[in-house]
């Protein structure tokens, strides 16, 4: 195992605060290191320092002179040539392009490609050249499941070192050998994958809570000592008095962001009919992208949509949201439906408009008290409200999109690749919000963890058809990570029955499981006995209903 990059006591300051402080980290061949932290924490700065594009303010960075580094930037820089001219020829190039669904674009000029296609070209370039160290910034953005699985295998098979920033928790848990967490200039290095990082975070928070309780107890003791009168205090050692004041003035570290992300909005009640399609088709000319789609979405449905890139997932969302008209067939919305759309790209954001102008809208007054309160709930404070949207970071623009989507008070929410460019803390907060949100939810995503935590019904778009995935999201995830049954010699499992009744049973079990978890968590924090009794009674009812729902679900398999 050879050392590829060695950072010793590295410090780097941003415009107004330290980004990295006294960081020591060694990357050797065979290691795969994941880097996480909130947007702006310093992840990209660390990657730039490692690959030699950024010089730290202090500390030492050592790397071999002949080190070959493969770099994937979050916004890749590519020449204004064709894909083939940029990547060259050879079976490695063709194999990478093929697995990334870009072989058909080999002769296309790069400026004509979409942002996602350019990202895949840059990824193919990285993996088709011999390198010692891979430095990857959000490599799964714009990749479908097959491409993500290919990427996982490439990383596992790579003999050199890997440093990657990613919000894909499943990927991080599958491939990383160590995790680096950046938090307000501090860095924490954890052995193992993402699961181990979560365990370490919980342990650190528990230690911090214990230390804060000790500090408070000492502070109370010292305060009582200082209050024993001026005469008594005058005879006390000045050093102890100074120490008492310092203890009383001390506080635990402030959170990285001011308060939780407050996504709560009032949602109009939905009727029994939400969205219903009948024999819907869509295409361009003689080429059909979607054919004869029949769907019915009800109140509270939580639907995930998956499929290969180019299969028509975004088109299906546009059709269901009435943003496109079908070539044939009908799409009906219920009379109470209020739709909002959180799209994959930020093309609808005017880059010259400030955050407060976009929040106010064409009829509002920028900077009104109501708008200021709303922006604060989404962490747009300080200079950010007066910042033009084109000058925001990728994560800030995505958070602004979410703010604008929820400000419409929808009861039907469409999310197209919502986790792209968001940090893990924000993603987890959004998951918590969506788990309690009462409206109808339709999500197109390749983020397996996000889909598992926010949806209970899965649709797959493939070869022009839209069909329910038997067993839902968890069965689909298991199918994507387990070896093919043919390779193991196992026979195919019996088909899971389909139908509205089965989906309703699965949806009811998921709802009751969420409610059970919420009540259990509240019981652990409530000290009032009357409130404990009330919550306990409600939990008993939920447990009985859950047992009944599970019995109904099992009856479909008898």
In this structure, how many other beta carbons lie within 10 angstroms of the beta carbon of residue 504? Answer: 16
Q: Residue 389 gets which letter from DSSP?
A: G
Mean predicted confidence (pLDDT) in 211-239: 60
CA 392 to chain centre: 18
CA 377 – CA 218 distance, rounded (Å): 35
522-551 per-position pLDDT tens digit: 778 777 777 788 778 878 888 888 888 777
What fold, for 3-198? Rossmann fold (3.40.50)
CA 199 to chain centre: 19
Mean predicted confidence (pLDDT) in 233-241: 56
Mean predicted confidence (pLDDT) in 131-135: 94
CA 51 – CA 134 distance, rounded (Å): 9
Question: Which alpha helices (H) appear in 104-193, and where do they start and end?
Answer: 115-127, 145-157, 169-175
- pTM over 0.75? The answer is no
- Confidence tier at 450 by pLDDT (50, 70, 90): confident
Q: Which residues of 47-74 are buried (b: 16+ CB within 10 A; e: fewer)?
A: bbbbbeeeebeebeeebeeebebbbbbb
Q: What pLDDT, on a 0 to 100 scale, did the predictor assign at position 259? A: 53
User: What are the domain boundaries of the chain?
Assistant: 3-198, 208-249, 275-487, 510-555
Answer whether 20's CB lies under 8 Å from 46's CB.
Answer: yes
Measured CA distances, 378 to 318, 373, 433 (Å): 26, 9, 13
- Confidence tier at 266 by pLDDT (50, 70, 90): low
Q: Residue 384 gets which letter from DSSP?
A: G
- Is 70 exceeded by the pLDDT of residue 147? yes
Q: What pLDDT, on a 0 to 100 scale, did the predictor assign at position 487? A: 41
- Is 60 exceeded by the pLDDT of residue 75? yes
340-365 per-position pLDDT tens digit: 998 877 667 888 999 999 988 887 88
Same topology, domains 3-198 and 275-487? Answer is yes
Answer whether 187's CB lies under 8 Å from 25's CB.
Answer: yes
H or E element: which one contains 10?
A: strand 3-13
CATH architecture group of domain 275-487: 3-Layer(aba) Sandwich (3.40)
> Locate tokens 């598992």: which residue?
452
Among 328-337, 340-349, 365-374, the range scoring the smallest mean pLDDT is: 340-349
In this structure, how many other beta carbons lie within 10 angstroms of the beta carbon of residue 120? Answer: 27
Q: Residue 185 gets which letter from DSSP?
A: B
Mean predicted confidence (pLDDT) in 100-116: 86
Nearest CA to 8 out of 33, 20, 25 is that of 25
280-295 per-position pLDDT tens digit: 999 987 788 999 999 9
């Amino acid at each position: 195992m050879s050392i590829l990059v060695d950072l010793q006591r590295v410090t780097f300051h941003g415009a107004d605060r330290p980004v990295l402080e006294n960081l020591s980290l060694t990357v050797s061949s065979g290691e795969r290191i994941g880097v996480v932290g909130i947007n702006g924490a310093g992840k990209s700065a660390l990657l730039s320092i490692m690959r030699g594009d950024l010089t730290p303010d202090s500390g030492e960075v050592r790397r071999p002179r002949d080190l070959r580094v493969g770099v994937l930037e979050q916004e890749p820089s590519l020449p204004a040539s064709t894909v083939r001219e940029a990547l060259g020829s050879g079976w490695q190039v063709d194999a990478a392009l093929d697995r990334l669904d870009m072989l058909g674009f080999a002769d296309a000029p790069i400026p004509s490609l979409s942002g996602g296609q350019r990202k895949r070209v840059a990824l193919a370039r990285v993996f088709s050249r011999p390198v010692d160290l891979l430095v990857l910034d959000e490599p799964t953005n714009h990749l479908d499941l097959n491409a993500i699985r290919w990427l996982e295998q490439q990383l596992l098979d790579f003999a050199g070192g890997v440093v990657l920033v990613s919000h894909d928790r499943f990927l991080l848990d599958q491939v990383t050998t160590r995790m680096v967490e950046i938090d307000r200039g501090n860095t924490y290095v954890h052995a193992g994958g993402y699961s181990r990082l979560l365990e370490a975070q919980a342990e650190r928070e528990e230690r911090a809570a214990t230390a804060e309780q000790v500090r408070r107890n000492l502070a109370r003791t010292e305060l009582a000592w200082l209050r024993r009168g001026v005469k008594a205090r005058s005879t006390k050692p000045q050093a102890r008095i100074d120490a008492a004041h310092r203890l009383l003035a001390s506080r635990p570290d402030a959170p990285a962001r001011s308060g939780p992300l407050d996504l709560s909005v009032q949602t109009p009640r939905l009727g029994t009919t939400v969205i219903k399609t009948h024999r819907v088709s869509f295409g361009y000319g003689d080429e059909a992208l979607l054919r004869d789609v029949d769907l019915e979405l009800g109140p509270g449905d939580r639907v995930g949509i998956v499929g290969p890139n180019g299969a028509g997932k975004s088109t299906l969302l546009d059709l269901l949201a009435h943003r496109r008209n079908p070539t044939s067939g009908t799409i009906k919305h219920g009379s109470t439906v209020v739709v909002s759309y959180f799209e994959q790209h930020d093309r609808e954001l005017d880059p010259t408009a400030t955050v407060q102008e976009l929040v106010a809208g064409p009829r509002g007054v920028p900077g009104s008290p109501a708008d200021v309160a709303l922006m604060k709930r989404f962490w747009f404070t300080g200079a950010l409200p007066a910042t033009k949207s084109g000058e925001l970071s990728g994560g800030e623009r995505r958070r602004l999109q979410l703010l604008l989507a929820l400000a419409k008070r929808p009861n039907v929410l469409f999310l197209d690749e919502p986790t792209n460019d968001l940090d893990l803390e924000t993603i987890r907060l959004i998951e918590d919000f969506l788990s309690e949100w009462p409206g109808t939810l339709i999500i197109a995503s390749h983020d397996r963890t996000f889909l598992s935590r926010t949806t209970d019904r899965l649709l797959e778009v493939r070869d022009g058809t839209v069909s329910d995935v038997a067993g839902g999201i968890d069965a689909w995830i298991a199918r994507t990570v387990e070896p093919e049954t043919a390779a193991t010699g196992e026979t195919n499992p019996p088909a899971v029955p389909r139908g509205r009744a089965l989906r309703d049973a699965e949806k009811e079990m998921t709802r009751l499981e969420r409610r059970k978890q919420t009540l259990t968590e509240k019981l652990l924090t409530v000290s009032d006995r009357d409130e404990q009794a009330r919550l306990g009674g409600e939990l008993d009812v939920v447990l009985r209903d859950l047992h009944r729902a599970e019995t109904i679900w099992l009856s479909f398999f008898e």
